[in-house]
Structure 1
Amino acid sequence: MTAPLLVRAARGERTERPPVWLMRQAGRHLPEYRELREEYTFREAIEDPEIAEEITLQPYRRYGVDGVVMFSDILTCLEPLGFDYHIESGVGPVIENPVDGPDDVARRRGDVRDELSFVADLLDRLSESVADEDAVLGFAGGPFTLASYVVAGGVDHRRTAVRTFRARHPDAFLELMERFAGVVAEYLQMQADHGADAVQLFDTYAGVLPPADYEQYVRPLHREILDSVDLPTVEFVRNMGGRLESLAATGADVVGLDWTVDMTRARAELGETPVQGNLDPSLLFAAPETVRDRTAEIIRAAGPEGHILNLGHGVNRDTPIEGVEAFVETAQEWEW
């Protein structure tokens, strides 16, 4: 059986057209999602496999994307390490028991497969629902991004709290990162066992670290996590335009690019390493013709081998349907 288009691109193969999916494609920009969410809290939606499957499949039915990313959240990995959280409207994630100093890092370690079994159940369902030519995608948050939440107690746009914690308590910071890395690796292995065709590691905020700190604290853990999974892997860290070689050195099969990276330059720097990206999400608010033109520029610059078309970050909540349609259709209609 031929591998899904997205998997072939992740392997660096030449594909007849670029596979396409969007980060955060299952979510707030879809009216059917907003209607369904009126009945459930966010935690209820992600922890009920039947509801999560429906939400996952909504963009698949509407747009015909090539990658179906499971509806979940990066913060699920907090649960096996003893952190409780909730999503507060207008605020975002709130950690109910954040790290209270360096002696509070070593929380109890729960069983990942037991505590996050609802994700395994969701992937089992998706494996039955999604056509063989399309890919089921899993994901997890990276150690630094997860640490930034539990140290700050919630959203910290400058990641000041976790950077300060690293400076004051480097040993405790490293222990916290290693504990997250262990949980994330096991979590991704579980996803592989339950039908994921590829997985993405979102350590979105790690790009705020100085290069030396990224190399010392983050990159070795990323490599450890990605090496533990026998599936195509995508590495995504924002604000790494001048350090793409560091992302490739994690051993990821695919380097995710944010919208600040020039695709032509990225291809020159990364050589044969497959890439994913990288339209600016705000461009989906432009006229459909503009969306098509800018998307075509990215596709041409990336070339026919080893490119997964995506945004440079997630879909914004007020994004017009017409913009997403233009983006996806440009890939679907492409011929090399």
Structure 2
Amino acid sequence: MMVDMNNRRALKDAPIIDAAYGRSPSRRPVWFMRQAGRSLPEYRQVRKDIAMLDSCFRPDLLAEITMQPVRRHDVDAAILFSDIVVPLKAAGVDLDIVPGRGPVVENPLRCSNDIEALPDVAEEQLAPIAEGIGLILGELNESQALIGFAGAPFTLASYLVEGGPSRNHEQTKALMHSNPELWHKLMQKITPMVITFLKAQISAGVDAVQLFDSWAGFLTQRDYRRFVLPYSTEIFAAVADAGIPRIHFGVGTGELLGAMAEAGPEVMGVDWRVPLDAAASRIRASLAEATPGADPESTALALQGNLDPAILFSGEKALEAEIKRVCSEADRAIARGNARGHIFNLGHGVLPQTDPGMITRAVEIIHSN
């Protein structure tokens, strides 16, 4: 699938893009994972009686939900309202998002035949998402970016093998270690689907992309490098020619940050467990070791993160103190040459019961730092 570059917007003074590339943004950029969704009453109203995945395939609805937090909070980017299992659903995999549980696969993959039967996703099956992106771009101004995203192959594989969310990922890890050949066969099947999904979003005009590896933090670095990193690297390489920032993020990945950075993103997302200056040191050391003799500037990535989502429940005084701490850690990493920019975010997604007013206030505080 070729990426159509004709839909690329000419962004002007877009803080998130500037921060990603190490330029000087007009203000500290901020967006929040899961900023569009359950914390907003307007979201609950428009999605009333509409299933989650159905809403992801309705262009008008996904556009409206994507834009709601941009209008309300003055964040510097919209994140496409979607789900990591959308390409699987589009391809015809029998799955649904069960309220209170998450994605559930009707027939988990257990053998080679199951993997061979996994359908591919075609560009035309993603047409509603592309149409929705067009609607969103028509409402964003020239300084507001639209971020597209996809789930990384490991996380998608875990859902397919476990049949749904898992506390221990025992079936997934068992497949990895008992039958590595079959594991790699599965990853080679999923990786092109992820690439197709991202390229469809890029052709439709998104300004940046994020690859979520939600469950990678359950792996050792050894297993991550052996079973996961080659496929994430392939995905980042496949969209490199688009010339837009590429972000990588996982939860509980403090020990994997350096390895994940080697996959090729411009921006590394960091969860709330690791201070940003410490994360930057780990990332830069790993990249320097992986690319001996490289230009030192190439081993300093932009950082994204990393306020604990629970802090939004703590009152304005605590919120301001924690935001200042996160900003100072990021600034320290930049001053030391270990990072080249900072995009403020949470260390994971907005929690459902979060007061939207606290999110708006957080944005105001961040923009003043």
Superposition TM-score, scaled by structure 2 size: 0.87
The alpha-carbon deviation at position 315 of structure 1 amounts to 0.7
Matched, 1:298 2:319: no
Which of 141, 154, 177 matches 1:144? 154
Alpha-carbon separation, structure 2, partners of 1:21 and 1:39: 28
Give the 5 Å matches for 1:237-252.
237-252=250-265
Deviations 1:279-322 (A, max 9, x none): 11111111012111101111121127411000000111111123
Instruction: Tell whether the 8 Å contact from 1:81 to 1:107 is kept in structure 2 after alignment.
Output: no
The alpha-carbon deviation at position 95 of structure 1 amounts to 0.7
Instruction: Tell whether the 8 Å contact from 1:288 to 1:322 is kept in structure 2 after alignment.
Output: no
Alpha-carbon separation, structure 2, partners of 1:98 and 1:21: 34
Which of 305, 321, 330 matches 2:356? 321
Matched, 1:308 2:318: no
* Aligned CA-pair RMSD: 1.6
State the one-letter code of the partner of 1:139. F
Instruction: Tell whether the 8 Å contact from 2:150 to 2:212 is kept in structure 1 after alignment.
Output: yes
> 2:126 is matched with which residue?
116
Instruction: Tell whether the 8 Å contact from 2:121 to 2:196 is kept in structure 1 after alignment.
Output: no
Choose 49-58 or 115-124, whichever is displaced more: 115-124
> 2:98 is matched with which residue?
88
> 2:144 is matched with which residue?
134
Alpha-carbon separation, structure 2, partners of 1:333 and 1:61: 19
Alpha-carbon separation, structure 2, partners of 1:314 and 1:5: 21
Instruction: Tell whether the 8 Å contact from 2:121 to 2:193 is kept in structure 1 after alignment.
Output: no
Q: For residue 137 of structure 1, give the secondary structure of its aligned residue in structure 2.
A: strand
State the one-letter code of the partner of 2:184. L
Which of 302, 311, 316 matches 1:288? 316
Alpha-carbon separation, structure 2, partners of 1:163 and 1:268: 29
Unaligned runs of 5+ in 1: none
Alpha-carbon separation, structure 2, partners of 1:269 and 1:31: 40
Deviations 1:224-270 (A, max 9, x none): 10111122100012222133211221111100001111112123333
State the one-letter code of the partner of 2:275. D
Q: For residue 204 of structure 1, give the secondary structure of its aligned residue in structure 2.
A: coil
Give the 5 Å matches for 1:196-211.
196-211=206-221
Instruction: Tell whether the 8 Å contact from 2:307 to 2:323 is kept in structure 1 after alignment.
Output: yes
The alpha-carbon deviation at position 145 of structure 1 amounts to 0.5
Alpha-carbon separation, structure 2, partners of 1:259 and 1:252: 20
Q: For residue 151 of structure 1, give the secondary structure of its aligned residue in structure 2.
A: helix
The alpha-carbon deviation at position 78 of structure 1 amounts to 1.2
Alpha-carbon separation, structure 1, partners of 2:236 and 2:25: 24
Which of 268, 293, 304 matches 1:276? 304
> 1:260 is matched with which residue?
273
Matched, 1:194 2:188: no
Deviations 1:27-80 (A, max 9, x none): 001111111221311122111000111111110111011010011100012135
Q: For residue 200 of structure 1, give the secondary structure of its aligned residue in structure 2.
A: strand
Instruction: Tell whether the 8 Å contact from 2:236 to 2:246 is kept in structure 1 after alignment.
Output: yes
Alpha-carbon separation, structure 2, partners of 1:99 and 1:108: 9
Which of 50, 58, 78 matches 1:68? 78
The alpha-carbon deviation at position 82 of structure 1 amounts to 4.1
Which of 169, 172, 176 matches 1:159? 169
Alpha-carbon separation, structure 2, partners of 1:252 and 1:91: 30
Aligned residues: 334
Deviations 1:94-126 (A, max 9, x none): 112221323311125344311111111111111
Matched, 1:172 2:182: yes
Q: For residue 310 of structure 1, give the secondary structure of its aligned residue in structure 2.
A: strand
Superposition TM-score, scaled by structure 1 size: 0.95
The alpha-carbon deviation at position 16 of structure 1 amounts to 3.4
Q: For residue 126 of structure 1, give the secondary structure of its aligned residue in structure 2.
A: helix
Deviations 1:177-233 (A, max 9, x none): 121111111211111111100000001111211211110121111111011112210
Unaligned runs of 5+ in 2: 1-9, 285-299, 335-339
State the one-letter code of the partner of 1:315. V
Alpha-carbon separation, structure 2, partners of 1:3 and 1:232: 15
State the one-letter code of the partner of 1:273. L
Alpha-carbon separation, structure 2, partners of 1:160 and 1:283: 32
